[in-house]
Amino acid sequence: MNSQQKAYLAGFLDADGSIVLQFRKRDDVRLKYRAKAVVVFYQKENDKKTLQQLQHLFGHGYVYSRNDNMSEWRIEGHARVKEFLLQVKPYLRFKKRQAQLILTALKILKKHYSANDLLKVCLLANKISGLNNAPRQRKNNYQSVKQDLLKFGLISL
């Protein structure tokens, strides 16, 4: 992508997008939670084609229709989110802090991380969520993950 395209995507993300770090409970992983990095863009269903064009420009992610007359372009996965954010971060205005926080979290998650590292990432996710003006509370946040890690004996007080 050229600098003009990166700037356009950054502006679009600032206005109609979100940067999210979610935690999903999983019995099949060592620390019982999987961290999921997501960048998502939103548009009315009748503008879905624009999202498809942007998805094609970046070359990753997928576009789908929701049940509420909205469409989303979702970029998921640590490597793809990192690649995308590194390209658009210099042009971000409103979501620059969220981008930096998730990039910091992804750096921690890249290595073989401990339960305490996972909790650090949870704190970063809480900060991202607070900056996003999310209308609802996250189900799996720092406190709930910490309680589960204690319950499973993966950390101690």
The residue extents of the domains of the chain are 3-151
Rounded distance, CA 13 to CA 2, Å?
Answer: 17
Using CA atoms, how far apart are residues 24 and 127, in angstroms rounded to an integer? 18
- Asked whether the beta carbons of 22 and 60 are under 8 A apart, the reply is no
Q: Determine whether domain 3-151 maps to CATH 1.20.1280.290.
A: no
Select from 121, 125, 123, 131 the least CA-distant residue to 97. Answer: 131
The model's pLDDT over 91-148, given as tens digits with 9 standing for 90+, comes to 999 999 999 999 999 999 988 889 999 999 999 999 998 888 765 667 888 888 999 9
Segment (H or E) for 12: helix 3-16
pLDDT tens-digit series, residues 2-21? 999 999 999 999 999 999 99
pLDDT above 90 covers what percent of the chain?
73
CA distance 103 to 97: 10
User: Which neighbouring-strand residues pair with 59?
Assistant: none
Q: Which token pair is 76?
A: 């998921």
Average pLDDT, the chain: 92
Tokens, residue 86? 């590194």
Q: Above 90 in pLDDT, residue 27?
A: no
Question: Which residue, among 21, 49, 47, has the nearest Cα to 36 in the 3D structure?
Answer: 21
What is the model's pTM?
0.90
